[in-house]
Amino acid sequence: MNSKEVIAARVAEELKDGDIVNAGIGIPTLVPNFIPADLDVFLHSENGILGVGPTPEDDKIDENIINAGKKPVTVKEGASYFDSASSFAMIRGGHVDVSILGALEVDETGQISNWAVPGKPVLGVGGAMDLLEGSKKIFITITHTTKDGQPKIVKQNKYPLTSLRKADLIITDLAVFKVTDNGLVLSEIFPNSSMQEVKEKTEGAFYIDEKLKST
Amino acid sequence: MDKTIVMTKAVSMIKSGDTLMVGGFGLVGCPLKLIKGMEDTSLKDLTIISNNLGEPGKGLGRLVLQKKVHKGIGSFFTSNPDVVSAYQNKELDIDLMPQGTLAESIRAGGAGIGGFYVKTGYGTKIAEGEEVRYIKGEPYLFQESIRANVALIKAHKADRFGNLIYLKSARNFNPIMATAADLVIAEVDEIVEVGDLSPEEIVTPHLFVDYLVLAGGD
């Protein structure tokens, strides 16, 4: 598995039977590939689908079935279509159990930035703020550092915040952090990494779970 | 009663300076024939309420290239670089809204609601200057509802009264836009006889729809 697949596979372990899940663009789109077949997990797409299925083969693409990233998808048995106002009533109204989102940065309190870059015109927000506001749980999937090696978990975000609401869980290609009222807690280090590497590549402060200290 | 008209007649009802709602998420569920018809007119200074402004050289993106659009109101314009450059060249105004707030503003506009309070965006850059009200101890932003002069929507099938059904995820903003404009023109793939659509399957009842244009017709 490449590093993005490692992240997607790990976040899939957090999903439970019956969960309504919205998966954003980027790494989150890989998550459905790792959901165990014996779990009924229902994927919600902002543009008006509950019950999104796998990506179709090229010769089976239906141009009228796309996800929020405007990519062709399929629907599963039991799926439904609805208008955009109903879709966001589901999101803001607290009917979506989990949103799995990418981010440009996460600060040490768990607040995220994933919609605007300073110095560039701010012309797109989409459903990012609604998902962060209304989902029962927010799982953030990010590579631990940027392509230039800069930490994405920082003391303070330099990009504009998406919401004051904090994430619940942050999963990177190196480690897992829980977000608590006291700040970030490192709860897991993947076998390909080490405590030293996580410390070196994380700018924001974090606590270390007792379980990790004892091993 | 038959609401079917030809495309050129439909387009002739739009005036320069009008505010238009245009259905679709990207190009899916977008009334492409009506938009194409607008390309061949002298329409200008349009305000367009739509989730996106098309894609490069496609759909509403063509009207942007023709400089017919004065302002875009929507949630996601970054996927069309032509929109970004028109904005940077100060040829185009943009009013950016979270997608859920956009959808609810349209729904409210069609339902006779003047405005509402919503949590989305509170404390972010998008909320600068907005009215805040605490409800049950939680902060909400005030959002006015929106309406348009004309809504151009896309449905799959209509009967001659103007009852509409939609196809798959091409529904998106279309049913709510059908409620929120003074004049509503629906582009459809097929027009069937009254009675051919079951009352249970009709998504947009005919009272919301003024005119029908066949996507594959004149």
Instruction: Give chain A's mean pLDDT.
Output: 95
What tokens were used for A141? 């999937």
Q: Verify whether residue A200 is a known catalytic residue.
A: no
Question: Distance (Å, rounded) from C-alpha B132 to C-alpha B127?
Answer: 9
Angle (CA) B116-B72-B38 rounded to 5° is: 125
Q: CB neighbours (10 Å) of residue B89?
A: 8
DSSP-derived secondary structure for B143-192: EE---EEEEEEEEEEEETT--EE--GGG-TTHHHHTTSEEEEEEEEEEEE
Percentage of residues in chain A with pLDDT exceeding 90? 89
* pLDDT score at A121: 82
Q: Which residue has the tokens 């009675």?
A: B195
* pLDDT score at B178: 98
Q: How far is A10 from chain B (nearest CA, A)?
A: 29
* pLDDT score at B134: 98
* pLDDT score at A214: 67
Cβ(A190)–Cβ(A197) under 8 Å?
Answer: no
- CB-based contact B100 A48, cutoff 8 Å: no
**Residues 6 or more apart in contact with residue A195 via CB below 8 angstroms:** A189, A208, A212
Whether A215 has a pLDDT exceeding 60, the answer reads no
Per the residue annotation, which of A5, A46, A108, A200 is the catalytic one? A46
- CB-based contact B26 A66, cutoff 8 Å: yes
Sheet of strand B138-144, all strands in order from the earlier edge strand to the far edge: B115-118, B138-144, B132-135
| Sign of torsion over alpha carbons B126, B70, A119, A113 | positive
A195 three-class SS: helix
Q: How far is B171 from chain A (nearest CA, A)?
A: 6
Amino acid occupying residue B53: L
- CB-based contact A92 B94, cutoff 8 Å: no
A50 three-class SS: strand
**pLDDT, average across residues A120-145:** 94
Question: Distance (Å, rounded) from C-alpha A196 to C-alpha A7?
Answer: 20
Q: CB neighbours (10 Å) of residue B59?
A: 24
What confidence tier does A130 reach under pLDDT thresholds 50, 70, 90?
very high
* pLDDT score at A101: 96
Find the distance separating the first CA and the last CA of chain A, reported in whole Å. Answer: 25
Q: CB neighbours (10 Å) of residue B133?
A: 10
* pLDDT score at B190: 98
ipTM of the complex in this document: 0.97
Whether A208 has a pLDDT exceeding 90, the answer reads yes
For the domain spanning A3-214, the CATH number is: 3.40.1080.10
- CB-based contact A125 B174, cutoff 8 Å: no
DSSP summary character for residue A143: -
What tokens were used for A3? 């590093």
Question: Distance (Å, rounded) from C-alpha A130 to C-alpha B37?
Answer: 35
Task: Tell me the longest C-alpha to C-alpha distance in chain A.
Answer: 53
* pLDDT score at A116: 87
* pLDDT score at B137: 98
* pLDDT score at A117: 82
**pLDDT under 70 in chain B at which residues?**
none
Question: Distance (Å, rounded) from C-alpha A152 to C-alpha A103?
Answer: 8
For A112, name the nearest residue in chain B, comparing CA atoms only: B124
Strand partners, A20: A42
DSSP-derived secondary structure for A79-105: EEE--HHHHHHHHHTT---EEEE--SE
Whether A202 has a pLDDT exceeding 90, the answer reads yes
B34 three-class SS: helix
Residue B65, φ and ψ in degrees, nearest 5:
-65, -35
Element holding B20 (H helix, E strand) = strand B19-22
Q: Does A45 touch chain B (CB under 8 A)?
A: yes
DSSP summary character for residue A155: S
A28 three-class SS: helix
**pLDDT, average across residues A84-91:** 98
* pLDDT score at A153: 98
Query: Which of B76, B88, B169 lies closest to A49 in CB terms?
Result: B169
Whether A7 has a pLDDT exceeding 70, the answer reads yes
pLDDT in tens, A27-51: 998 998 899 989 999 999 999 999 9
**Residues 6 or more apart in contact with residue A79 via CB below 8 angstroms:** A49, A50, A51, A52, A53
- Domains of chain B, earliest start first: 7-114+146-214 (3.40.1080.10)
Residue B117, φ and ψ in degrees, nearest 5:
-110, 135
- Bin A115: left if φ > 0, else alpha if -120 < ψ < 50, else beta: alpha
Question: Distance (Å, rounded) from C-alpha B186 to C-alpha B189?
Answer: 10
Angle (CA) B59-A79-B156 rounded to 5° is: 35
DSSP summary character for residue B95: E
* pLDDT score at A118: 78
